[in-house]
Structure 1
Amino acid sequence: MKRNIPDSIVVAGHRDYDVLHAIAGDILRRAGDQAALAARVPAMLRCCVDDVIMTPKTGRRAYEKLEKTEKTYIGTRVEIELRAMLNLPRGRLDTVILGHDVDIKHTMGSNWMIPTEAVGHPCILVAADEPRAVCYLGLVVARPDYLTHGQNKDAKKSVSAEGFANIYWLLRDHPYPPNFWRTIPPEAVESIFAGRSGNERMMSLFREVQRVPITRDVVEAVAQQRDFMRRIRSDNGRGTRDHLAREGILLLSGQYDAPLIASLGLARCTGSEFISCRPDSQSEADLAAQHGIAVDLSPN
């Protein structure tokens, strides 16, 4: 998304304020409140992108690796998911809010493409900025004077530089869950996927990324196996957890090891997340033992 977005001029007295303020109020009511919207939209966007990347099946780890048709589908998926999240009906355009035909536009780039049929109508503008891990949700009446003069081969126009000031923002530069593989050094990613077996890759993952919650989806992507959860569990001394314990590394489950995770002062994990750490002292190793997990500190 554009880095230099002007402040919105859609305030009381602006020609679009009444309609956009009313639509914004209905969206917030449907979401629950501002806090609920700010939590649900970013999570929805992350899911829409990751479900198309499909790392476990394709081995791809970035939006940039997608085919053009897949990138287009993300926009369709966001439209569907947003309607479902807000319980919005279908309409002549994408939906109807307070009697207004409303189009839903999504972009992973710096602007939105507005079709001719949406000109003159309110639009919900959604954007996800993968490199910066921020997202946007805004409203605009797609007036011709807010749009560029040029158009693409489908006769779609973009929001002009001046038109950006006429967007009523619900979320702007709002954090959303980053692509996990962008959060760790490239050399660590290379080391993780260099493993020849699921066990080797899993061990490398939890060696390279410690004290950070790791989702089940990431585990599946790294294991690249049908029974990928088996690699997490103790497996008669053969599982990832067993091997790492012998190296002095604890591999903990948010579902089963929450008390120990809290006692060690690690980041809170959901029931479907995992976290690893190398105990800093014998007292931490003893704490793990009290919770039934033996870890060898001799490698230190």
Structure 2
Amino acid sequence: MKAIPRSLIIPGHPDFEKLNDIGLEVVRRAGGTIGLIQWFPKMLRDAVDEVVDTPRTRRRSYDELEKTEKTYLGTKIEILTRAKLDLPKGRLDFVIQNCDVDLKFTIGGNWMIPTEAVGHVCLLAAIDEPKSQCFLGLIVAHPANLTSGANRDAKRTVAATGFQEIHWLLNGVPCPQNFWRTLPSNLVDAVFTGKTGNDRIVTLFSGVLDRPVARRIIEEAGGEQRDFMRRIRSDAKRGARDRLLQEGVLLLQGNYDADLIKSLGLPETSPSEFISHRVISEAERAICASYGRSVPAALSS
């Protein structure tokens, strides 16, 4: 996403009243500003990751999607937004405050505006992957706010000067990263080429130490398992937890092991997350023992 200029949509601007009213309604329906911040970034992250589908495709970025998948992703975000905000469909994607509104999504830094949306309000959604930020704004797609050239589908983009005409609801708000994209490609390949669910989870947690891992990531790593969480439990020395312990790696859960996680100086881990840690000192072994977690001395060196 390019540097965002200061918005000109302030009281006195001819589009201010309309965009402000629609923006307030969007925020209200999302549960207020806090509700919007809690919902919108995660919704975008999950929607993108589900289409990229790293576990089955080995792809890790939006750029690797086919054109049809990118189109579907925009439609998916439109549907999820309509459902969350409980908005009726109109001639365009939604009706908000008796106004037809079209939703446009991009990761590429600009939005494609179709001819049917020109002159109407557009709800602009975006992710900046390198900066892990997301954006949500409103613009009236006046011809003056759009580029003069169009692609072969007659779609235009927001002009450089048009970025000043966006009324921002969220501007550069932190957005979760794609977990798999943050890992070395050889580690991702090693995880997903494991023969069993246990193999994949052991590879994941021995390769990603001292970092909280969400339940969804464990599900993806475990593969098509009915009870993927069983993979991380003790299972007659065959479960991932016991196999990791044999390597000197503790697998801890953010709820049950919260105090031990804190005592070991590990990052805060939510109740739905797990974190692995390699025990490397006698002091850490003693801390673990005080919480009833024994790590064999032979594995701590």
Aligned residue in 2 for 1:129: 128
Aligned residue in 2 for 1:77: 76
Aligned residue in 2 for 1:240: 240
Cα distance per residue 1:59-104 (max 9 Å; x no partner): 4333233222111111011111111222222112111111111111
Structure 1 residue 168: Cα displacement: 0.8
Q: What secondary structure, in the 3-state scheme, does the structure 2 residue paired with 1:271 have?
A: coil
Cα distance per residue 1:135-173 (max 9 Å; x no partner): 110000010100111112221111111111100111122
Is 1:256 aligned with 2:251? no
The question of whether the paired residues in 1 share the 8 Å contact of 2:201 and 2:231 is answered with yes
- C-alpha separation in 2, matches of 1:57 and 1:257: 31
Further displaced range: 128-137 or 277-286: 277-286
- C-alpha separation in 1, matches of 2:133 and 2:182: 14
Is 1:150 aligned with 2:163? no
Aligned residue in 1 for 2:267: 267
The question of whether the paired residues in 1 share the 8 Å contact of 2:54 and 2:180 is answered with no
Alignment of 1:184-195 (within 5 A): 184-193=183-192, 195=194
Structure 1 residue 45: Cα displacement: 0.3
Q: TM-score w.r.t. structure 2 length?
A: 0.91
Aligned residue in 2 for 1:202: 201
Aligned residue in 1 for 2:26: 27
Is 1:181 aligned with 2:180? yes
Further displaced range: 138-147 or 207-216: 207-216
Is 1:6 aligned with 2:12? no
- C-alpha separation in 1, matches of 2:287 and 2:169: 46
Q: TM-score w.r.t. structure 1 length?
A: 0.91
Aligned residues: 299
Further displaced range: 166-175 or 189-198: 189-198
Q: What secondary structure, in the 3-state scheme, does the structure 2 residue paired with 1:298 have?
A: helix
- C-alpha separation in 2, matches of 1:128 and 1:260: 36
The question of whether the paired residues in 2 share the 8 Å contact of 1:56 and 1:220 is answered with no
Q: What secondary structure, in the 3-state scheme, does the structure 1 residue paired with 2:238 have?
A: coil
- C-alpha separation in 2, matches of 1:102 and 1:10: 17
Is 1:294 aligned with 2:284? no
Aligned residue in 1 for 2:163: 164
Structure 1 residue 42: Cα displacement: 0.2
Structure 1 residue 281: Cα displacement: 4.0
Aligned residue in 2 for 1:223: 222
Further displaced range: 276-285 or 22-31: 276-285
The question of whether the paired residues in 1 share the 8 Å contact of 2:62 and 2:107 is answered with no
Q: Which amino acid aligns with 1:130?
A: E
- C-alpha separation in 2, matches of 1:225 and 1:162: 49
Q: Which amino acid aligns with 2:201?
A: M
Structure 1 residue 176: Cα displacement: 0.3
Cα distance per residue 1:179-231 (max 9 Å; x no partner): 11222344543554464443333222212211211112222332324243232
Structure 1 residue 257: Cα displacement: 2.8
Q: Which amino acid aligns with 2:284?
A: E
- C-alpha separation in 2, matches of 1:297 and 1:90: 64
Further displaced range: 224-233 or 175-184: 224-233
- C-alpha separation in 2, matches of 1:198 and 1:175: 32
Q: What secondary structure, in the 3-state scheme, does the structure 1 residue paired with 2:261 have?
A: helix
Structure 1 residue 261: Cα displacement: 2.7
Query: Which ranges in structure 1 are unaligned for 5 or more consecutive residues?
Result: none
Cα distance per residue 1:36-69 (max 9 Å; x no partner): 2122100000111111122333343332332221
Q: Which amino acid aligns with 1:261?
A: I
Cα distance per residue 1:241-265 (max 9 Å; x no partner): 1121122211012343334334434
Give the direction of change, closer, same or farther, for the CA distance of 1:185–1:196 in structure 2 (3 Å limit): same
Report sequence identity in percent: 52
Cα distance per residue 1:21-48 (max 9 Å; x no partner): 1111111111222222122100000111
Is 1:92 aligned with 2:91? yes
- C-alpha separation in 1, matches of 2:60 and 2:110: 24
- C-alpha separation in 2, matches of 1:129 and 1:5: 12
